[in-house]
Amino acid sequence: MASQPPTPDDRDVLANLSSLPEGPRNLLRLALADRVTGCLVGSAVGDAIGLYTEFFTAARAAVEYPEAKFTLHPTPTHFSPDLHRCKHAEGEWTDDTDHSLLLLLSFLNGSGGPGGPARGLPSQQDFAKRLKLWVSDGLRALDRPPLGLGALVGSVVRSPDYEEKPQEAATERWRRSNMQAAPNGALMRTHPLGLMLVADGDEARAFSLAAEISRATHVDPRCVVSCVIGTGLVRACARGEVATEQHVDDLIARARAWYESEGVTGGGSEGTEWPDLDWDELTAHVNPADGLDGLKLDESGKIGYTYKTLGSGVVCLRLAIRRISTQQAPSVAIAVKREEVFEELITDLTMRAGDADTNACFAGALLGAYLGYSVLPGHWKRGLKNGDWLLRKAEALCKVLGVMDGEYNGRDDPDTEIAAGKPPLTEAESEMRWAVLSGDAQTRITERKTARENAAKERANKGRSGNPVLAFVKSFTTGPSTRPA
């Protein structure tokens, strides 16, 4: 029997932490803060690792990274030397994380201090303004350029009335695709929405918010239901409500029930007939018989499909649950195992290539919310570019949610403003930025090609010389004969 969702009347212990004795209250708050932070950092780390193989086939990934291991600290694994990857430095996240941060910063900007987590929830219009600025100027808080813009998002955001009517603009663009476009650009950013409502007892509010923000760019029902499920799972993992695969299945069932009763009509856009969802197709992606193999993540022409990304995250969560549930070791050993689980799953997912950064970003959000920040791989956390900044924003979120001591007022944090308190980039500044980026990328390509060539020469030399002792012995046994003919 499916478990019942929390009711709004409960507001359960997470919404009433102050009613608990001090000891249990502090432990629960620590666990919540760890999982909230784990979700945000885990997604960014997954994004940064996934970039190593984005757009490759699995076969190409195996050639480019034969050791199937990625290190970010102290000496990062070098990217394959191509322009797509080398626009970034190793350890940088991509547009996937940038877009999720637009939602997080919107929420923090509307939070005047500690209090109810429902304060300042992002709206379609606020997100649309932030996304439109990102398309032109990037993430101003960190002065990151807008790399990796998806085709659908780009076409929607450039619509003349996008800021005022984002859903209508998104619907029009979707119609022009013959109502077929269902990419993963909304799912990749949805995880902060689940965290914003982690202490709210009404699961349906998280479903509703996820659907609303999805439709700011992606109105296809498959995109919407992907975001509903993804947001719900992040929230449930962060709340500690996911311990078995049955809990995963139950939440997916509740998300489906919510969508069928309320989610379809929430689509708005008069005159639009929303196609029925093929629930068997969804099930085949979130619980495939062959696990990650069954998702064919590097399938030509289909790598960006929203169900592939949804499935990759859900399958990784299932695999993590199976590994954690079989552990019968002391607590210290379990902590080590948990760290291994995250790294092994994200590495395996990355080596399957396809839209690897987006798949690993979403999977990293789920795994981070399930496992917690404290057991994310240390060398990945330390090597994440702008990781300290991200940790400060995670801490701010925890304070707003009331799971960490201290106060935070988003109005006093210029990073949360739409333009981060900075003037728009001039045309000259924008051109200079792209020129510098292009030069840096070419330098990285040259350096990484040289490093690969040197490594290949070193391997070849080692192969010829082999073990020096054996080579010495071999010279007496296989060298030219000194006897007369």
**Residues 404-454: tens digit of each pLDDT:** 999 999 999 999 999 999 999 999 999 999 999 999 999 999 999 999 999
**Any binding-site annotation on 357?**
yes
Backbone phi and psi for residue 144, each to the nearest 5 degrees, phi listed first: -95, 130
Average pLDDT estimate for 155-175:
96
Average pLDDT estimate for 204-219:
98
Average pLDDT estimate for 201-220:
97
Average pLDDT estimate for 194-208:
96
* Residue 331 pLDDT level (bands cut at 50, 70, 90): low
Q: How far is CA 89 from CA 368, 402, 448, in A?
A: 23, 35, 11
Residue 21 is predicted with a pLDDT of 73
Residue 27 is predicted with a pLDDT of 85
Q: Which residues pair with 96 in a beta bridge?
A: none
Write the single-letter amino acid at 397.
L
* Residue 473 pLDDT level (bands cut at 50, 70, 90): very low
Per the listing, tokens 């650009």 go with 185
Cα dihedral 297, 299, 302, 303 sign: positive
* Residue 268 pLDDT level (bands cut at 50, 70, 90): low
Q: Measuring CA to CA, which residue among 184, 156, 183 is closest to residue 47?
A: 184
Average pLDDT estimate for 97-111:
97
**Any binding-site annotation on 96?**
yes
Per the listing, tokens 């060398």 go with 379
The tokens for 348 are: 């395996």
- Return d(Cα 343, Cα 49) in angstroms, integer: 10
Could you give the angle at the alpha carbon of 8 between the alpha carbons of 7 and 12, nearest 5°? Answer: 75
Residue 325 is predicted with a pLDDT of 83
* Residue 465 pLDDT level (bands cut at 50, 70, 90): low
* Residue 263 pLDDT level (bands cut at 50, 70, 90): confident
Residue 149 is predicted with a pLDDT of 93
Is the separation of the CB atoms in 93 and 390 below 8 Å?
A: no
Computed over every residue of the chain, the mean pLDDT equals: 90
Average pLDDT estimate for 285-297:
98
Residue 18 is predicted with a pLDDT of 66
* Residue 118 pLDDT level (bands cut at 50, 70, 90): very low
* Residue 136 pLDDT level (bands cut at 50, 70, 90): very high
Which range, of 4-13, 258-267, 317-326, averages the lowest pLDDT? 4-13
Average pLDDT estimate for 286-294:
98
Q: How far is CA 128 from CA 8, 66, 149, 317, 349, in A?
A: 29, 42, 15, 31, 31
Average pLDDT estimate for 253-276:
84
**Any binding-site annotation on 94?**
yes
* Residue 20 pLDDT level (bands cut at 50, 70, 90): low
Report whether pLDDT(466) > 60: no
Identify the helix (H) or strand (E) that includes residue 213: helix 203-214
Residue 135 is predicted with a pLDDT of 98
Report whether pLDDT(336) > 70: no
- Return d(Cα 397, Cα 141) in angstroms, integer: 16
User: What pTM was estimated for this model as a whole?
Assistant: 0.90
